Amino acid sequence: MVKKTLRKGLALLIIFTLIISVALVGCGTEKSSTSKSENVKQEEKTVVLKLGHVLNESSPFHKGAEEFARKVEEKSKGRLKIEIFPSAQLGNDRELAEGLQLGTVDISISGSAAVTGFVPRLQVFDLPFLFRDAEHAYKVLDGPIGDEVLKDFEAKGIVGLAFWENGFRHLTNSKRPVKIPEDVKGMKIRVMEIPIHVQFWKLLGTDPTPMAWTEVYTALQQHTVDGQENPIQTIYTQKIYEVQKYLSLTGHVYAPAVVMISKKTYEGLSSDLQKVLTEAAKETATYERNYIKDLETKALKELPKLGMEVEMNPDKEAFKAAVQPVYKDIGEKLKVKDMIEKIINTK
């Protein structure tokens, strides 16, 4: 009797174990098929990328970023979305680039000069009076020379997607009209934090003061510095006219902008999404450059009404002659003599 009961209990136990095992195997199958469909879902999921820049929402960087975001969303059929953070919300230019390296920022747009600490060869483009006009600059930046310099970013954990534009830089100050180099002698000029700018403003007899963009308006307002230099569109959209009386169209440097993505972010995306970003960044360059062209035409009409005195024809040849030593210096220091020659000879 006891034996019979034991046998029955054992049989029940075996049946119970079998049921549990089948159920567990079933769950396992279910789990693996769920994770497969999760993978599929992930590929279809929208990836949101954070884009930062230091200018305000009326700047061409911002308008370009909006167009870029629109194109990316369209080309990726909604799989990629870009969230834009203007006005240095994600940090100043150096902090943005460091964020790209760490992967805490996905995409950033900076004036190329602001990231020469990461890619020194970018300084070549900041040689004063290097580019004859905007078309010359586009030919160089959108061609093999531009591509070669963009590749330098990779060693720093950043992928350079495309060159956009900041524009030809012009001098403003609160002291006097500037027509010839003698007029700037002794002025304290805020410059970007890159050696080449410091060097050529010294050659012009000024006292160059390197400073991050985020501090410039206050420094001009408090007269810590007498002047600064930036493209017309920046002087207009960032309201530099409120704190500077004189604008001189020196056009001393053509400033490109660079659209960059964190290498970590980039490598985490499928190759078709990488292509979407590269194509959209390159295509948006034309939009952003045209936007600047129109904006500067408007700004030049508006700035005198806003109180600025504009010198339309400063003696550019005299300024150019005064800064020539910087060519030799940069050519030797960065080993870019050939590149400079090639740029000058690009027709």
Does position 234 bind ligand MLT by CB under 6 A? yes
Which of 299, 264, 326 lies closest to 130, judged by CA? 326
Beta strand spans in the chain (E): 47-52, 80-85, 107-111, 158-173, 188-191, 207-210, 227-231, 246-262, 309-311
Does position 69 bind ligand MLT by CB under 6 A? no
**3-class DSSP state for residue 216?**
helix
User: How far is residue 200's CA from residue 185's CA, in Å, rounded to a whole number?
Assistant: 12
* CB closer to ligand MLT, 87 vs 274: 87
Does position 160 bind ligand MLT by CB under 6 A? no
* CB closer to ligand MLT, 56 vs 104: 56
Q: Residue 122 CB, nearest distance to ligand MLT (Å)?
A: 13
Does position 166 bind ligand MLT by CB under 6 A? yes
Q: Contact, 147 vs 153, CB < 8 A?
A: no
Does position 163 bind ligand MLT by CB under 6 A? no
The only residue of 86, 91, 111, 314 in contact with ligand MLT, by rule CB under 6 A: 111
**Count of Cβ atoms closer than 10 Å to residue 318 Cβ:** 12
Does position 123 bind ligand MLT by CB under 6 A? no
The only residue of 107, 192, 194, 323 in contact with ligand MLT, by rule CB under 6 A: 192
User: How far is residue 330's CA from residue 347's CA, in Å, rounded to a whole number?
Assistant: 22
What track of x and - describes contact with ligand MLT for positions 30 through 59 (by CB under 6 A)?
------------------------xx----
Two structure tokens written together for 164: 């956009």
Find all residues with CB under 8 Å of 218, minimum gap 6, and list them: 224
Residues that contact ligand MLT, how many (by CB under 6 A):
9
* CB closer to ligand MLT, 76 vs 116: 116
Q: Residue 43 CB, nearest distance to ligand MLT (Å)?
A: 36
In the chain, % helix, strand, coil (3-state, to 5) comes to: 55, 20, 25
Q: Residue 144 CB, nearest distance to ligand MLT (Å)?
A: 26
* CB closer to ligand MLT, 236 vs 273: 236
Q: Residue 211 CB, nearest distance to ligand MLT (Å)?
A: 8
* CB closer to ligand MLT, 60 vs 146: 60
* CB closer to ligand MLT, 111 vs 227: 111
User: How far is residue 141's CA from residue 146's CA, in Å, rounded to a whole number?
Assistant: 4
Q: Residue 303 CB, nearest distance to ligand MLT (Å)?
A: 17
Whole-number Cα distances in Å, 335 to 140, 148, 292, 344:
18, 14, 32, 16
Which of 247, 308, 261, 311 lies closest to 108, judged by CA? 261
Identity of the amino acid at 175: K
* CB closer to ligand MLT, 109 vs 276: 109
Q: How many residues does the chain have?
A: 347
DSSP 121-155: GGGGGGSTT--SSHHHHHHHHTSHHHHHHHHGGGG
* CB closer to ligand MLT, 54 vs 82: 54
Q: Residue 111 CB, nearest distance to ligand MLT (Å)?
A: 4
The only residue of 131, 168, 213, 266 in contact with ligand MLT, by rule CB under 6 A: 213
User: Where does this chain bind ligand MLT (CB under 6 A)?
Assistant: 54-55, 111, 114, 166, 192, 213, 230, 234
